[in-house]
Amino acid sequence: MTDRPADTDAYHADATDTGTFDVVVIGAGPPGENLAERTQAAGLRTVLVERALVGGECSYWACMPSKALLRPPAALAAARAVPGARAAAHGSLAVDEVLASRNAFASGWQDDGQVSWLASVGVELVRGQGRLTGPRTVVVTTPEGSERRLVARQAVALCTGSRATLPELPGMAEARPWSSREATSAGQVPDRLAVVGGGVVGVEMAAAWRALGARVTLLARGPRLLPRWEPFAGELVAEGLARSGVEVRTGASVSALRRPDEAGPVVLDVSGGNAVIADEVLFATGRRAGTENLGLDAVGLTPGDWLDTDETLRVRGVPGDWLYAVGDVTHRAMLTHQGKYQARIAAAAIAARAGGAPVDDGPWGRHAATADQRAVPQVVFTDPEAASVGSTLEQAEAAGLRVRAVDYDLGSVAGALLYAEGYRGRARIVVDLDREVLVGATFVGSGAGELLHAATVAVAGEVPIARLWHAVPSFPTMSEIWLRLLETYRG
C-alpha cells in the first residue's frame, strides 16, 4: 500500500506538486500524532500536516505546562500534612524554579523532539495550514506561502482540536485578557489575577497562580464550581481554593471590563456585586471547534461546527468512507487521553476498511469508541484533587437508569489518615440497580487521582458488584475506600 516516489528529496523540494498518500492527517496534537503513527504502522503511507508546533495544545499550552505548575505546590502541601515531615517543609516555593521546570515540561516551546519521533516512526510531516478542497483532497499552504496538494487514497483525518472561546463583553479588547495559553505560559506572576469561569481550567489555574503568590479572585457565574461534576466535587475544590487564599465568588457574572491605562490594572464589573480590580484577567470560559479555514464547506459541512462522528470516528454527513475526525474537534470528550483512544480506534477502523476486513463497531468492539459514552476518566489537579469516571448520579438518572448513589468519607480510611493529617475527602459510586454494575465513580481528596483507574476498569469492564466484592484492597491504602463503599452498598 505504500508507493513512496523514488526521488524523495526532489519530491520534498517541489512545493507545488501533488503527493498521493494512503492517509492524510491534519493537526499534530497527541490524537493526530497517534493516529498517524498507527496507520503508518499498519502499512498505510501517512502524512501529517501541522501549521504550528508538532505536539499541539496539550504539550505546550495545556496539560503539560499546567501540571508542571500544579505539581510543586501539591508536593509541598503533601509534605506539610504529615507530622514529622512538616518541619522539613516550612519554606516557600521557589517560584523561578517552578517556572523554569514548567518551561522544560513545555520543551521550551520547541518541537524538535516530537519531529524526530515522527521521523522515527516513518510519518512524513508537512508544515502549513491544511484545508479540504474536495473528497480525499487537502491543500496545504506552507509557511513560505506556496501550496501543496495532498491526495488520500484511503482516508483524511481531521485532528484540528479546539481554541479558547472568550465572551463578547464591552471592554474585552482593551482589557487584553489571558486565555489558557497565557495562563500556562506566562513568565511573570501577576500581583492580582482575576479568573473568570469555574470549570476545569478556571479552578486549576486559580490554584496554580495562587500557589505562585498571586492574589486570585475566581468568578463563577453559576451556583458552584465544576458544574458538570457531582456537587460535592465543586464544594470541596472551592473549600480548598479558599483555604489557599483564593477569593471564590459564585453567582458572579462579569458584565464589562476596563483598562483605561495600558500599563495599569483592569477593572471587571460584576453583575450584582463589587467590581474586581486585577493586574491580569484570565477567561477560562470554554472552547470552540478548530474547524474554521479547514475547507469544511467543500465537503458539505459548516465551518466552525464541531464534527459529528460515528462510533468508528467517521464524520457523519459526508458520503463515502474517507473522512474521519478525532480529538477535541469531535466534542466527544475534550481530554488528551480520550483523543488518543479515539485515534487508536479510528486508525484500526481505517486499516480494516482499507484491507477489506470486517469492522467490529458494536458496543466495546475493536472499532468502536464506546468508552467516550460510558467511561471517560478525568482528574482535576487542584488540592484536593477531583477524579471521576462515567456518569454522575444526575446524569445516570437523566439517562433513565434505575440507580443508587453510595457515599463514603474518604478521610476515614486508614490509608488517608496516614496520607495526611486531617485528610478531607469524599467518594461516591453510582450503581445501576438492574445490572448491579458501577456506571460512575467520583473521588475527591489529596492524591485521589491515583484512585481513579480502578474505577475506570470497573465501569468499562462492567464488573458485577458481586465480583468486585472479591477485589480486596491492600491495607492500609486509600483504595480501602472501595471496601467501605461496597460494604455500604451491600448493607
Ligand X SMILES: Cc1cc2nc3c(=O)[nH]c(=O)nc-3n(C[C@H](O)[C@H](O)[C@H](O)COP(=O)(O)OP(=O)(O)OC[C@H]3O[C@@H](n4cnc5c(N)ncnc54)[C@H](O)[C@@H]3O)c2cc1C
Ligand Y SMILES: NC(=O)c1ccc[n+]([C@@H]2O[C@H](COP(=O)([O-])OP(=O)(O)OC[C@H]3O[C@@H](n4cnc5c(N)ncnc54)[C@H](O)[C@@H]3O)[C@@H](O)[C@H]2O)c1
The binding site for ligand X (CB under 6 A) comprises 26-32, 49-52, 56-58, 62-63, 66-67, 129-130, 159-162, 180, 184, 201, 290, 294, 327-329, 334-337, 339
Nearest alpha carbon to residue 157 among 323, 341, 291: 323
Q: Is 376 exposed, middle or buried (0-12, 13-18, 19+ CB in 10 A)?
A: buried
What does 451 bind: ligand X, ligand Y, none (CB cut-off 5 to 8 Å by kind)?
none
The residue (of 140 and 238) whose beta carbon lies closer to ligand X is 140
Smallest distance, ligand X to C-beta of residue 162, A: 6
The residue (of 2 and 271) whose beta carbon lies closer to ligand Y is 271
What does 181 bind: ligand X, ligand Y, none (CB cut-off 5 to 8 Å by kind)?
none
Measured between alpha carbons, how far is residue 128 from residues 23, 112, 144, 146 in Å? 17, 16, 9, 9
Pair type for strands 18-26 and 46-50: parallel
Q: Which residue is nearest to ligand X (CB)?
A: 29
Strands (E), 245-367: 247-249, 254-258, 266-270, 276-278, 280-283, 287-289, 323-325
**Segment 163 to 182, residues that bind ligand Y, using CB under 6 A:** 167
The residue (of 334 and 465) whose beta carbon lies closer to ligand X is 334
- With CB under 6 A as the contact rule, the residue among 40, 114, 285, 291 that binds ligand Y is 285
Q: For residue 417, give every residue at least 6 positions away whose Cβ sits within 8 Å of its Cβ, in sequence order, or none.
A: 411, 423
**Segment 181 to 210, residues that bind ligand Y, using CB under 6 A:** 196-202, 204
Q: What is the 3-state secondary structure (H, E, C) of 186-208?
A: CCCCCCEEEEECCCHHHHHHHHH
What does 198 bind: ligand X, ligand Y, none (CB cut-off 5 to 8 Å by kind)?
ligand Y
Contact 243, 235 (CB under 8 A): no
What does 445 bind: ligand X, ligand Y, none (CB cut-off 5 to 8 Å by kind)?
none
Is residue 218 part of the contact set for ligand Y (CB under 6 A)? no
What does 286 bind: ligand X, ligand Y, none (CB cut-off 5 to 8 Å by kind)?
ligand Y
What does 179 bind: ligand Y, ligand X, none (CB cut-off 5 to 8 Å by kind)?
none
Is residue 335 part of the contact set for ligand Y (CB under 6 A)? yes
Nearest alpha carbon to residue 76 among 59, 60, 97: 97
What's CA 425's distance to the chain center, in Å?
Answer: 23
Counting Cα atoms < 13 Å in the Cβ hemisphere of 202 gives 30
Residues forming the site for ligand Y (CB under 6 A): 167, 196-202, 204, 221-222, 227, 253-254, 284-287, 334-335, 378-381
